[in-house]
């Protein structure tokens, strides 16, 4: 019964039937497998999407891609078009835009890694689709419905990040726009929500770990978690990544940079290559305990 899956506070049984029928589970065992060029989201394997916040330079993204391929990571994450919080730019702190897409293309050609990168404006979709394997819709654009529909219509797989101020009901409503536009290859991503108080000044968001089992109750779509954007503090990324796997994450997005302190964007949240190697071992062990693999 639907009632068993929906506590009824945020998402009601009626919502599942009427507001997002395509996104809602049809029954308790309903789970979609999303195939991205042979990598399956929502199955036993937990795909990793790792890399710098921004596609800073060709040298950087190719280096990260080589490192990740050595560790069997399937996806390189890096933004070329980015929602930077403030309009002022310095030579380092600036969107790389079309140059960034070229850097990502080089990384893909050199290593065969798949690319997930953000779409900010529909007018660049053709260019982004020339290199991306998965289109990322960032938290800030979660409710930009025309953008969701335009992305959906490309037929490319999409990862939709939950806005930090939005309920699960809002997230599922946004997901419905994509499924309703004829694109079934959708992954949802929890990336932290605004909370009145967090321990560190720099911890901007609070990772909503319980969103993962809650979403699994409600929807058949795979659920990814991005602990890097949630905590904004590299020392917490590992524990939160482990916890994400323990609560049932179907995929992880992790910010990884060879020189985190000097990352052009969000230097506090990226982990180093060495940290990633250690974390990967831990995630592997926790995955096994959860009857998953990475
Ligand atoms: C990102 O992944 O680069 C990003 C900007 O994330 P979010 O939309 O979750 O803030
Ligand atoms: Mn950021």
CATH number at residue 56: 3.20.20.70
Looking at the structure of the chain, the number of domains it has is 1
**pLDDT tens for each residue of the chain, 294 residues long:** 455 555 678 999 999 999 999 999 999 999 999 999 999 999 999 999 999 999 999 999 999 999 999 999 999 999 999 999 899 988 888 899 999 999 999 999 999 999 999 999 999 999 999 999 999 999 999 999 999 999 999 999 999 999 999 999 999 999 999 999 999 999 999 999 999 887 777 678 999 999 999 999 999 999 999 999 999 999 999 999 999 999 999 999 999 999 999 999 999 999 999 999 999 999 999 999 999 999
Does the residue 188 lie in any domain? Answer: yes
Separation between Cα atoms, residue 168 and residue 10, nearest integer Å: 7
* Domain span including residue 37: 13-84+91-289
CB 114 within 8 A of CB 133: yes
Which atom of ligand 1 sits closest to the CA of residue 189? 9
Does the residue 21 lie in any domain? Answer: yes
79 lines ligand 1 (CB under 6 A): yes
d(CA 270, ligand 1 centre) in Å: 13
Which atom of ligand 1 sits closest to the CA of residue 53? 3
d(CA 31, ligand 1 centre) in Å: 25
- When computed from its CA atoms, the radius of gyration of the chain, rounded to whole angstroms, is 18
Nearest to 244 by CA among 30, 35, 48, 71: 48
Nearest Cα residue to atom 5 of ligand 1: 138
Separation between Cα atoms, residue 119 and residue 148, nearest integer Å: 10
pTM of the model: 0.97
Does the residue 7 lie in any domain? Answer: no
d(CA 3, ligand 1 centre) in Å: 33
- Provide the 3-class DSSP secondary structure of residue 94: coil
Taking every pair of Cα atoms in the chain, the longest distance, rounded to a whole number of angstroms, is 57
d(CA 4, ligand 2 centre) in Å: 36
Nearest Cα residue to atom 9 of ligand 1: 139
d(CA 11, ligand 2 centre) in Å: 29
Which atom of ligand 1 sits closest to the CA of residue 141? 8
Helix axes of 211-218 and 168-180: crossing angle, nearest 10 degrees:
40
Q: Which ranges of 31-167 does DSSP label H, i.e. alpha helix?
A: 58-70, 97-111, 125-129, 145-153
Name beta bridge partners: 36: 39
Does the residue 246 lie in any domain? Answer: yes
CB 143 within 8 A of CB 166: yes
**Cα-based angle 146, 149, 155 (whole degrees, multiple of 5):** 150
Nearest Cα residue to atom 4 of ligand 1: 138
Does the residue 8 lie in any domain? Answer: no
Q: Which residue has the tokens 């053709």?
A: 126
Does the residue 252 lie in any domain? Answer: yes
Phi, psi of 240 (to 5 degrees): -75, -30
Does the residue 56 lie in any domain? Answer: yes
Does the residue 257 lie in any domain? Answer: yes
Element of type H or E holding 285 = helix 273-289
Phi, psi of 11 (to 5 degrees): -110, 125
Nearest Cα residue to atom 8 of ligand 1: 138
CB 93 within 8 A of CB 47: no
């Amino acid at each position: 019964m639907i009632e068993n899956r929906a506590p009824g506070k945020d998402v009601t049984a009626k919502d599942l039937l009427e507001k997002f029928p395509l996104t809602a589970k049809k029954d308790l065992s309903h789970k979609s497998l999303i195939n991205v060029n042979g990598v399956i989201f929502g199955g036993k394997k937990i795909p990793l999407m790792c890399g710098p916040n921004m596609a800073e330079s060709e040298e950087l993204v190719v280096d990260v891609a080589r490192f990740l391929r050595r560790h069997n990571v399937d996806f390189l994450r890096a933004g070329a078009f980015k929602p930077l919080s403030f309009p002022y730019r310095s030579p380092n702190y600036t969107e790389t835009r079309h140059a960034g897409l070229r850097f990502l293309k080089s990384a893909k050609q050199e290593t065969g890694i798949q690319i997930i990168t953000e779409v900010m404006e529909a007018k660049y979709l053709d260019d982004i689709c020339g290199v991306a394997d998965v289109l990322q819709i960032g938290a800030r654009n979660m409710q930009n419905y025309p953008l969701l529909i335009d992305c959906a219509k490309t037929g490319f797989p999409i990862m939709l990040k939950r806005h930090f101020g939005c309920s699960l009901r809002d997230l599922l409503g946004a997901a419905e726009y994509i499924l309703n536009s004829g694109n079934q290859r959708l992954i949802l991503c929890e990336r932290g929500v605004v909370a009145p108080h967090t321990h560190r000044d720099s911890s901007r968001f609070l990772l909503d770990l319980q969103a993962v089992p809650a979403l699994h109750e409600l929807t058949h779509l795979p659920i990814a978690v991005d602990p890097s954007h949630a905590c904004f503090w590299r020392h917490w990324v590992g524990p939160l990544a482990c916890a994400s796997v323990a609560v049932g994450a179907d995929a992880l997005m992790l910010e990884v940079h060879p020189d985190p302190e000097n990352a052009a964007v969000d230097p506090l949240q990226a982990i180093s290559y060495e940290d990633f190697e250690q974390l990967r071992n831990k995630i592997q062990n926790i995955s096994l305990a959860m009857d998953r693999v990475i």
